[in-house]
Amino acid sequence: MVKTHIKQKVVLSAMAGAIMIPGSVLRVTAAENTEEQPFVQASGIESVLEECYETEVKDNIDLYLVPTEEGEYLNMAFSDTGDFTYIRNAPDENSDWVGKLYEDSAAQVLEYLDGWTKIRSGAAEGYVPADTLITGNEAQEHAGEYENNTVTVTANVLNVRDGQGTDTNILTQIRMDEQYQVTGDPVDGWYPVTIGEIDGWVCGDYVTEEISYSYGETKEEEEKRIAEEERRKQEAADREAAGISASSAGSTATVGQAVIDYACQFVGNPYVWGGTSLTNGADCSGFVQSVYAHFGISLPRTTYDMVNSGYAVSYEEAQPGDLILYGDCSHVGLYMGDGNIVNALNSDKGICICSATYSNIYAVRRVL
């Protein structure tokens, strides 16, 4: 892994007779516009700089390092706290908290105050006590300790397994654009990750890997995260109560996701009444029938017959690949997850993606 580092440079500007250093303004009167050039003694500049370095400006100047061409950033800081410190809406211990800065978090310094620092960490912006941050040269020295090796999910639904390979047990599932920390070295294209309290493996074909930093979160983000964790726990409890193993449920979801991935290749192609061609044109039932035919599954030709295919599930239980039928069974689409379907909608839209609740749902059928 190649790491880049900031090479420290301090730029001193002497424009219009002023020397600007963060935290202090020292002015030198500019000469009048005459033919005679002004003369500033070098020893005078040196004494000014020496005076500045003898003040607390010396402690702040590293916050304003000039970045090199290596692409480093300005004003980065890292948390130096226990589990977390509150990010507040004002530099006051009694002010409301708007977010949390965790022990492994990075932040951007926005303003340096007396005893407080204004920061932005992720979407959270506010004030934290200055002694809860590592800044300047020290931050540069410790940056590597805060780096995370993460993966971001690129599939709509991705299985997390207890080993490397599709023949291992499914522990849970994660979704598109979710990001998780890699806990070790990849093995045969599989990455070890932690999902809440679950340690498992994900296939590298469906994630992108990157080096990143952890950030704080807003109060609203924390509430949403906790609610999602509770939802997953409840789903696991419901499956256990119904006698459904995570492995069997995940197997269906895996095939269903493959169906959706295949179907989405044809988005943008035309709608043709009575058609069954995924490239030259299909109507709603022809589209669904042809997609499933690719996987060796035979479905009836019309929506009125498709409503009897497979078995019924509720919309709340819908998984990728399920058939969603609408109105009086006059339309059908394939559920993608996240409240969307892919379907051959009409002659104007063609094969497209739209909300699964765009019209009244008549039935949800699982054929896998």
Give me the CATH number covering residue 176.
2.30.30.40
Residue 349 lies in a domain: yes
For residue 20, pLDDT over 90 is answered with no
Q: What percent of the chain has pLDDT over 90?
A: 49
Please count the structural domains in the chain: 4
The secondary element (H helix, E strand) that includes residue 183 is none
Domain stops at, among 64, 85, 103: 64
Q: Would you say how long the chain is, in residues? A: 368
> According to the model, what pLDDT value does residue 253 have?
64
105/189 same-domain check: no
Residue 350 placed within a domain: yes
21, 52: one domain:
yes
The model carries a pTM of 0.44
Pair (166, 262) in one structural domain: no
Residue type at position 317: E
> What is the three-class DSSP state of 367?
coil
- Please tell me whether residues 123 and 174 are part of one structural domain: no
pLDDT digits (tens, 9 = 90+) for 107-156: 999 999 999 999 999 999 999 999 999 988 888 888 888 887 889 999 87
Write down which residue in 157, 189, 213 finishes a domain. 213
Residues 352-368 have a mean pLDDT of: 92
Q: Are residues 351 and 289 in the same domain?
A: yes
Query: Is 266 found in the same domain as 335?
Result: yes
Domain contains 218: no
- Are 111 and 160 contained in the same domain? no
pLDDT of residue 92: 95
Please return the burial class of 39, using the count of CB atoms within 10 Å of its CB with bins 0-12, 13-18 and 19+: exposed
Q: How many CA atoms lie within 13 A of 49 on its CB side?
A: 10
* DSSP code, position 28: -
What is the rounded distance in angstroms from the CA atom of residue 253 to the CA atom of residue 157?
8
User: Which helix (H) or strand (E) is 99 found in, with range?
Assistant: strand 97-102
Residue 287 lies in a domain: yes
Indicate whether 234 belongs to any domain. Answer: no
What digits encode the pLDDT tens for the residues 187-214?
Answer: 999 999 988 778 999 999 999 988 878 8
**Residue 158 — pLDDT band, cuts 50, 70, 90?**
confident
pLDDT of residue 250: 53
CATH of the domain at 279: 3.90.1720.10
The answer to whether residues 203 and 158 touch, using CB atoms and an 8 Å cutoff, is yes
Q: Indicate if the pLDDT at residue 37 is higher than 90.
A: no
Question: Identity (one letter) of the amino acid at 367?
Answer: V
Regarding whether 84 and 36 lie in a shared domain, the answer is: no
As a whole number, the mean pLDDT across the chain is: 78
Specify whether 105 is located in the same domain as 199.
no
What residues make up the domain containing 117? 76-146
**4 is a domain residue:** no
Give the tens place of pLDDT for each residue, 98-109: 999 999 899 999
Tell me the C-alpha distance between 98 and 89, whole Å: 6
Q: Are residues 41 and 105 both part of a single domain?
A: no
Assess if residue 127 is contained within a domain: yes
Measure the CA–CA gap between 76 and 296, rounded to whole angstroms.
55
Partners of 143 in the beta sheet? none
In whole angstroms, what is the distance from residue 272 CA to residue 280 CA?
8
- What tokens appear for 7 in the block? 């090479």
Same domain, 48 and 113: no
Q: What pLDDT is recorded for position 252?
A: 60
- What's residue 122's pLDDT? 92
Per-residue pLDDT, averaged over 71-95, amounts to 86
Give the pairing type, strands 361-366 and 147-153.
Answer: unpaired
Same domain, 60 and 164: no
Residue 66: how many other CB atoms lie within 10 Å: 12
Boundary-marking domain end, from 181, 213, 245 = 213
Number of neighbouring beta carbons within 10 Å of residue 186:
16
* Residue 96 domain flag: yes
Under a CB-based contact definition with an 8 Å cutoff, are residues 213 and 147 in contact? yes
pLDDT number for residue 148: 79
